[in-house]
Chains A and B, each alone.
Chain A
Amino acid sequence: MKVLFKYLPALFVVSLSACGGDSWNDPYPTADVDRNILYSAFAERPKHLDPVQSYSSNEIMFTAQVYEPPLQYHYLKRPYKLVPLSATKMPVVQYVDKNGRRLTDGIDNEKIAYTIYEISIKPGIRYQPHPAFARNEQGKFLYHNLTARDLAKVYKLNDFPHTDTRELTAEDFVFEIKRLAHPRLHSPIFGLMSDYIVGLKEYSTTLKTAAKKQLRKQGKDTYLDLNNYALEGAQVVDSHTYRIKIKGKYPQFMYWLAMPFFAPIPWEAERFYTQQGLAEKNITLDWYPVGTGPYMLTENNPNLVMILEKNPNFHGETYPVGGTTEDMKKGLLADVGRPLPFISKLKFYRDKESIPRWNKFLQGYYDASGIGSDSFDQAVQITGQGEATVTEAMRVQGIRLETAVATSTYYMGFNMLDPIVGGFTDSARRLRQAISIAVDYEEYVSIFANGRGIPAQGPIAPGIAGHRYGKEGINTIVYDWENEKPRRKPIETARALLAEAGYPNGINVKTSAPLVLYFDVTARGAEDKSKLDWMRKQFQKLSIQLVVRSTDYNRFQDKIRKGNAQIFEWGWNADYPDPENFLFLLHGPQRKVGNDGENAANYDNPEYNDLFEEMKNMEDSPERQKIIDRMVKILRHDAPWLWGYHPKDYGLYHAWYKNVKPNRISHNNMKYYRIDANLRGKKRHNWNKPVLWPVVACLIVLLVGLVPGVVAYRRKERGIGVENLRAQGKNA
């Protein structure tokens, strides 16, 4: 015990001395103070960092900084515009007929049998330093035939002492396309791409057979050299040019070329990581990316921190020109033409709970933050003009708010296979239209999303081609245009529609039974009870009883897949900024039931399907807009969804965080950001001075409390002694 008390003060001093800088609550190492580092947090650890497998936003946050596909989105331009990244120019697109004859632009889409994208890549791009490229003096790879002895002291990638690099070639892009079909990997887009890239489906079969044969021959799962197997749809033209051949015409393919799925992978990396001993040590391509981008992953500890550092071999890129006057006002054009990236290190710390994350942001230890519903009132206020701005407390701290309408939609769907709410009968359609009017999404957004959303007029989110603004964009089934803004139709209109549907006052005229509908939701916590109560109230406006069927997420998905749900909530984040990526959610052949597609409402209207097929292959043009308008009109009339709302992203940024232009489509934005580390250091110092009086007060209270304790102890000890003497005297 004495030893413990002897060393406690020393431990306390050591703990304090370990605190970074002069702020005791600084969670970062002292060496990092005032360095050009961006600090961010992540709640969920990424599952995949292999570009062929990664699809979630919490994964692409890392992969997009490391991998460079041929194209990217212009950082400043809106609507979103594709520009070359590792490509020298935009791909050259050629259309050919079924006989392989080249067609000219503007030709009838039906004659197009294949589209060929020829992509030229920039010369001189080099990969990040990596042991997979390291060679010995004889030119042989150092780490491609590792033995158990070589791996005895290897626990992470940095344990390999030698690294090297090589120039990026067209073969690496083709190699990655082939990896989409690799039997050992799970690419989420393999199904989609095998419908387009010529020979990809067959290539998968070829690779499976080859892998089995190799397994039989060698007795273990070894490196399958994809270079030995040709893929018709992806061919190298020369060292810096390659071609992708897809079936028919699919203009949206260009957007896929801006995603990490089509980023280059060197065969050496695949060869290196396939070695059995490395996989057993969790050293895989899925955890240690190899790219040409501005950053490279140098520490991968997804339980604590993931660190990206500047890639010393980065080929160079400059801050883009082409911003608007608005961008200039916001200071987004101050760095035009300067070399990227600005920040030397990106540190992502794992902070699973929102409260510590938020408080660390307020202390200046995270450079940016989202806004949870708990902290919304603390952070944001709405002005008299309805504009969102930061509160006075945030403004004093120099925190600014950036908002943008997300390219997403949250909707309430009707199962079109349901006998009551589904189908194309007048009765069912009017019932759905009546409900569309009754459920007041303006109120929903105001109450449950703190105003962070725009009630949707159709499936296509704002900022996406095909979305109509103003009067011509309103859903006339649900809204009237009054005083230059949409106004939800009165509830009487909904009641009249309900009566026409055969349910006057919510009573079925045929059976005289009250109309009861079922709302299928995933199991909810107590905080969502108010949302469900609100939803019941909306249906109650039409005297419809809404029964909530709550279940866990797995069962809910199962219900949707089998078509057993009646009314449900769902959402969609766009993969790319094209209306096709929203309108396909209601395309008949994409329905969930039977086809396992993304059409959760199982909506299947032949006219809409035909228009979709026509629209999806068109370039943006007035003709395409006309078709989209017609499609949206059909949807509004059929009302398979309550269109719900498009969420607004609210982000808070400290004063030292520069060049932020919110962007939900592209993710390789870290290279554009700039941090004023000196300002951050000063602010942190001012905001985090230790407050010592409570400690002193606690010690005083403790000492003061001890005095009567000691007195009572002595009195008691004396009392016990007297009692014992008395007892002894009595006994004597």
Chain B
Amino acid sequence: MLNYIIRRMFYAIPILIGVNLITFTLFFVVNTPDDMARMQLGIKRVTPEAIAKWKQERGYDKPLVFNSAEEGVQKFIRTIFFEKSAAMFAFNFGRADDGRDIAHEIKTRMLPSLAIALPVFLLGLVAYITFALVMVFFRATYIDFWGVVLCVALMSISSLFYIIGGQFLISKLWHLVPISGFGSGLDASKFLVLPVVIGVISGAGASTRWYRTIFLEEMGKDYVRTARAKGLPETIVLFRHVLRNALIPVLTGAVVVIPLLFLGSLIAESFFGIPGLGSYTIDAINSQDFAVVRAMVFLGSFLYIIGLILTDISYTLVDPRIRLE
């Protein structure tokens, strides 16, 4: 298994280079280093000298990918792409355009993101699987029918609506929790209730339907018939046999997102005033901060790859027949 993991990690390198290249290309198609400098230096009274100085200080005064003024391999090394990318593979994210250390920002913002994403993930997983199993238990009845209708309805509503509606009802009309904000320690709990509830509800429709489909597929298999033939109650059949055998597809969807929980939610964090990484990414995109955008995309890709490897490993835990070689 160790060999497999090492091999997969090596496969990740070209993927990360590719992602980095795509991010770089997309970013610089829209923004030139001059645009970035103007964005940082403001609109009023920005002189060409100030722009040149800003670029020079941050290494944006070089050609993007090919430096014809240099010799040999330096033609590729003395470029913005190489200089900005090489350090990233050593997880040296450098500084944002406003001078703040990106690694420090990531460290401090990771926990607020996780404080919302982890409960949403865990509670959601439990709730969705339970609802899906209930619907499967009552399959082909009015409970199943109306359950599916409810899921489709929940799926059809934008997550923004849940956020605004939730803030309006629970915070503004009923005054039960703060509308937005964040605190440290125990103080944070009052701010987490609403985003967590909304996060779970907004994902309920699609996830419950997906799990229902997986479980229904399992229900038709021989081992279920055998379990019933043994006289086992349906609840035991569902929770002990069907659930366990359906874990492979469940894990495929669930484990891969675990590392990504650190990255937070782009919209929810902005609306709830959570100082997490989702909010950080949105700010960076709005302020054309390439250093932060690049770091967050790189981190996202890296964590996704880690998630895929963890998924593979989890298969071996739930199904002893699977070997990673």
Contacts and interface: CB of A to CB of B under 8 A. Distances in A.
A188 B190 contact: no
Q: What are the nearest 9 A-B pairs in CB distance?
A: A303-B275, A27-B178, A27-B181, A554-B35, A356-B180, A191-B47, A691-B174, A15-B189, A304-B275
A192 interface: yes
Interface of A: 1, 4, 11, 14-16, 18-19, 23-27, 29, 45, 47-48, 55-56, 186, 188-192, 280-282, 284, 286-287, 301, 303-304, 349-353, 355-356, 359-360, 362-363, 365, 552, 554, 557-558, 575, 596, 598, 688-692, 694-695, 709, 712-713, 716-717, 720-721, 724, 727-728
Contact of B99 (A1, A286, A353): A286
B270 A352 contact: yes
B99 A284 contact: yes
B105 to A, nearest CB: 8
B180 A360 contact: yes
Contact of A712 (B54, B141, B169, B183): B141
Interface string B210-231: 0000000000000000001101
B14 interface: no
Nearest to B169: A694
Interface stretch (B37-45, B78-86, B245-253, B290-298): B37-45
B273 A352 contact: yes
A541 B174 CA distance: 51
B31 A554 contact: yes
A193 B189 CA distance: 51
B72 interface: no
Contacts of B108: 303
Nearest to B273: A351
Given A186-B41, A188-B45, A303-B109, A1 B189 contact: no
B190 A16 contact: yes
Given A47-B40, A356-B167, A690-B175, A1 B126 contact: yes
Contacts of A695: 174, 176
Contacts of B89: none
Given A24-B177, A303-B280, A554-B288, 11 more contacts: A4-B126, A18-B187, A47-B98, A192-B45, A304-B273, A350-B275, A352-B279, A356-B179, A365-B178, A694-B169, A720-B233
A519 B228 CA distance: 73
A359 B50 contact: no
25 contacts: A4-B126, A25-B175, A55-B45, A56-B42, A188-B42, A188-B50, A286-B99, A304-B273, A350-B273, A351-B180, A356-B271, A359-B168, A359-B179, A365-B178, A552-B30, A554-B288, A557-B38, A575-B44, A690-B176, A692-B174, A695-B176, A712-B141, A716-B137, A720-B228, A724-B229
A159 to B, nearest CB: 14
Contacts of A355: 164, 167, 271
Contacts of A713: 137-138
Contacts of A19: 177-178, 190
Interface in B1-53: 30-32, 35, 38, 40-42, 44-50, 53
A25 B283 contact: no
A692 B168 CA distance: 15
Contacts of A689: 175
A24 B176 contact: yes
A362 B30 CA distance: 40
Contacts of A351: 180-181, 273
Given A1-B126, A356-B180, A552-B30, A15 B193 contact: yes
A349 B175 contact: no
B172 A363 contact: yes
Interface string B157-197: 00000001001110111111111111100110111110000
B234 interface: yes
B244 interface: no
Contact of B48 (A24, A281, A596, A690): A596
A353 B271 contact: yes
B42 A55 contact: yes
B276 to A, nearest CB: 9
Nearest to A571: B43
A338 B228 CA distance: 85
A163 B53 CA distance: 35
Contacts of B273: 304, 349-352, 356
A334 B53 CA distance: 51
Nearest to B269: A352
Contacts of A45: 283
B283 A23 contact: no
Contact of A25 (B31, B32, B54, B178): B178
Contacts of A27: 178-181, 190-191
Contact of B183 (A29, A188, A191, A286): A29
Contacts of B164: 355
